[in-house]
Structure 1
Amino acid sequence: MDQLAPAEVSPYRVFSAEEWARLRAGTPLTLTKEDVERLRSTGDKVDLREVERIYLAVSRLLSAHVEASQLLFRQRQAFLGGEENRKTPFVIGIAGSVAVGKSTTARLLKELLARWPSCPKVQLVTTDGFLYPNAVLEAEGLMKRKGFPESYDVGAILRFLSDVKAGVPRVEAPVYSHLVYDVVPNGRVSVEAPDILIFEGLNVLQVRDMPRDGKAVPFVSDFFDYSIYIDADEADIRRWYVERFMRLRDTAFRQDASYFRRYSLIGEAQALEVAETLWETINARNLRENILPTRPRADLILRKGPGHLTEQVALRKI
């Protein structure tokens, strides 16, 4: 992790996967092989052993932070004479490139955290639903920048997270369909006062230019209690993206409703060229310009190797 060296001045403590696995410290494995297969995304190599090596310790760490937050709330409640009646959700942000494994990580952690003895209520929301509809992106000339910061309704994201953190009992988030590659009209998912909210997306750690007049400008990450970045070499992410595209070409893209159905009707060589072009002109640019620069803002960095499995973990020092 080039940004994390030298160790003596780094804000992170770096562990090998083997060192990190020992921090599981007896945390029980509550998922089955079938659970993992159901939760992982297309092309992701996460298996039950990877859950034991990496994700059990991550869930233990996050559970400790949640418990500390709950303790602080009770102490603050006592300090204020019981005026605060409701603990607001503990929000975990998960960032990283397309095809790096954010969605799998988010779903695994949702399942693991919900199975701790305290049985907290855990909900997951992705930023995809907050993309502007394709009609808007087309009108604004942004379809080729879909996934870039300007393609999201940031105001809606901030209002959603603000309501969640304000303790509003029921907050709705828009829904996205990867099949039709667009926001679902009138689609909504309800977030109803969970103990933990996982908020996953490409640019959730993104910052904005500060105003000269000193007015408050909230960032999405201002609402996070903890943040995770899924990391890997660009060459590996590119390969995973192209491989996933070619696999989807033979599966989901063949559905009549698929936005990408046209790519299932062309030859393999032409489809491969399309995948590589999409990576280089859209996803690689977004990674270099917007996503990767946010990596040093994360509390925890999971660094994947060529095999799509975590090889290093960097934990921000306290």
Structure 2
Amino acid sequence: MLVDDAVALVPSIPGRRALLGLAGAPAAGKSTLARRLVSGVNDRVGAGTAAYVPMDGFHLSNAQLDRLGLRDRKGAPETFDVDGYVHLLRRLRGDRQHPVYAPDFDRRLDEPVAAGLVVAPGVRLVVTEGNYLADDGAGWGQVRDLLDELWYVDAPRQLRERRLLRRHVRGGRSELEARAFIAASERPNARRVERSRAYCTRVVAPGH
């Protein structure tokens, strides 16, 4: 059903492009759902119809986080380049004649990667996802105005935190370090994201 709803967002007029946003707490399943939607749309409508552009590419680099004293808050709203993300969304809406390059995020490096993604001119639906797409903080409030729909991806806290623990241990933290980071950073971030739920078009809980 969710793929059906994503297909319905694809503009029927050539040269037009729609943007679907997925918001939700860390490890709610946003990226998994985004990839599934893009794959489903491309299977049904045709290859190259949809593309995936995550917000995570706009993480500040670890060097910048160290400079700002924010390394232990990585993942909080102030650790992203929200102005850069908003600018990209405007380009995706407005420039349908040229390839649009976007940064990606490498979890192995724990760093953003410049121009890791490209949205071809023929793409008619972009699925983007991130924690703060529905946030009303400085800069973030502009994001909602650039999206055709914004879905909130919901998942139980216990499930999310199990996923986060695995993610951080795979990333090189000890289990003790991972649990401390979840308590100090991920959990407060999740509470903030949950408060933005009312700004979303709908709530989905795929596969949970």
Shorter-chain TM range is 0.7 to 0.9
Q: Paired residue for 1:63? A: 7
SS at match of 2:183: helix
Q: Retained in 1: the 8 A contact 2:28–2:155?
A: yes
Residues 88, 164 of structure 1: 8 Å contact kept = no
Amino acid at match of 1:58: L
Question: Structure 1 119/98 Cα, relative in aligned 2: closer, same or farther at 3 Å?
Answer: same
The DSSP-based 3-state class of the residue aligned with 1:173 is strand
2:153 aligned with 1:153: no
Q: Which amino acid aligns with 1:157?
A: Y
State the Cα distance separating 1:166 from its structure 2 match: 0.9
In 1: Cα distance, 2:82 partner to 2:53 partner: 15
Matched, 1:175 2:78: no
Instruction: Identify the match of residue 89 of structure 1 among 12, 17, 34.
Output: 17
Instruction: List, as ranges, runs of 4+ consecutive aligned residues in structure 1 with deviation greater than 3 Å.
Output: 117-120, 243-246
* Aligned residue in 2 for 1:199: 128
Please tell me whether the aligned partners of residues 41 and 50 of structure 2 are also in contact (alpha carbons under 8 angstroms): yes
Corresponding residue to 1:295 among 192, 197, 203: 197
> What amino acid sits opposite 1:62 in the alignment?
A
The Cα of 1:139 is off from its aligned counterpart by 0.3
Q: Which residue of 2 aligns with 1:229?
A: 152
Candidates 59, 67, 82, aligned match of 1:131: 59
Equivalent residue, structure 2, for 1:13: none
User: Residue 31 of structure 2: SS of its match in structure 1?
Assistant: helix
| CA distance in 2: counterparts of 1:94 and 1:113, whole angstroms | 16
> 1:93–1:198: 8 Å Cα contact kept in structure 2?
yes
Contact 1:89-1:195 within 8 A present in 2 as well: yes
Structure number with larger C-alpha Rg: 1
**SS, match of residue 116 in structure 1:** helix
| Corresponding residue for residue 163 of structure 2 | 240
Whether the 8 Å contact between 1:87 and 1:167 is mirrored in structure 2 is no
Question: Residue 130 of structure 1: CA displacement?
Answer: 0.9
Deviation readout 1:250-285 (Å, 9 max, x if unpaired): xxx5xxxxxx2xx4xxxxxxx332221111101001
- Give the match's secondary structure for 1:115: helix
Which residue does the alignment assign to 1:280? 183
Contact 2:101–2:115 (CA under 8 A) maintained in structure 1: no
Structure with larger RCO (C-alpha < 8 A, sep 6+): 2
In structure 1, C-alpha distance between the alignment counterparts of 2:120 and 2:111, rounded to whole Å:
25
Q: Which amino acid aligns with 2:204?
A: L
Judge conservation of contact 2:134–2:141 (CA < 8 Å) in 1: no
> Deviations 1:235-258 (Å, cap 9, x if unpaired)?
332233224445x2xxxx5xxxxx
Pairwise CA RMSD of aligned residues?
2.3
Structure 2 CA distance for partners of 1:288 and 1:179, relative to 1, 3 Å: same
Cross-structure match for 1:11: none
8 Å CA contact 2:57–2:105 kept in 1: the answer is: yes
Q: Whole-Å Cα distance in 2 between the matches of residues 221 and 205 of structure 1?
A: 6
Counting matched residue pairs gives: 206
Query: 5+ residue gaps in structure 1?
Result: 1-56, 75-85, 211-216, 254-259, 264-270, 311-318
* CA 118–170 in structure 1, closer or farther in 2 if over 3 Å, else same: closer
Hey, what's the Cα distance between the residues in 2 that align with 1:218 and 1:292? 15
CA distance in 1 between partners of 2:151 and 2:138 (Å): 23
Amino acid at match of 1:279: I
Contact 1:88–1:166 (Cα < 8 Å) also in 2:
no
Hey, what's the Cα distance between the residues in 2 that align with 1:115 and 1:301?
Answer: 24
